């Protein structure tokens, strides 16, 4: 995005938009992880951009398109989770950047069967 104002030009990087989308994605209930594939996952580990794994953005002057690849928690209603995800990502990007998000495309690439093990407080005291 670029915006000409009397004081100068404002540009928002694709990486910034991708980071916002990644954080909004991971905060969405029912989404357990992003899916980046083997080569992309390796590249993201090397560059330190794990929040952007599984995200591709196309940022224009005033609009953005977001493509997400996600892993959904087993037992979740996939359609509902993905609709909420689209809404959350759109709202986060539009509120923070002023860009108009014209598409949020979601590809579900897997289902997570594992549950995070939470230790009981009594076990921690022993």
DSSP structure class, residue 48 = T
Compare 62 and 116 and report the one with higher pLDDT. Answer: 62
Residue-wise pLDDT tens digits, 47-100: 444 567 899 999 998 999 999 999 999 999 999 999 999 999 999 999 999 999
For residue 117, name the pLDDT band (cuts at 50, 70, 90).
very low
What is the residue-averaged pLDDT of the chain?
Answer: 81
Closest CA to 51 of 11, 24, 89: 24
d(CA 25, CA 69): 10
> Sign of the C-alpha dihedral, residues 93, 95, 96, 102?
positive
d(CA 125, CA 107): 43
Say if CB 58 and CB 98 are below 8 A apart: no
DSSP structure class, residue 115 = -
pLDDT in the model for residue 51 = 61
pLDDT in the model for residue 6 = 73
Share of the chain above pLDDT 90, in %: 60
pLDDT in the model for residue 35 = 85
> Mean per-residue pLDDT for 20-49?
71
């Amino acid at each position: 995005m670029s915006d000409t104002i009397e004081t100068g030009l404002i540009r928002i990087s694709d990486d910034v938009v991708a980071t916002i989308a990644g954080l909004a994605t991971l905060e969405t209930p029912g989404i357990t992880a992003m899916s980046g594939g083997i080569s992309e996952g390796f590249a993201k580990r090397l560059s330190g951009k794990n929040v952007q794994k599984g995200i591709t953005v196309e940022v224009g002057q005033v609009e953005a398109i977001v493509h997400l690849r996600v892993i959904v928690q087993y037992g979740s209603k996939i359609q509902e989770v993905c609709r909420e995800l689209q809404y959350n990502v759109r709202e986060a990007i539009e509120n923070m950047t002023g860009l108009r998000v014209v598409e949020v495309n979601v590809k579900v690439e897997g289902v997570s069967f594992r549950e995070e093990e939470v230790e009981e407080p009594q076990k921690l005291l022993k």
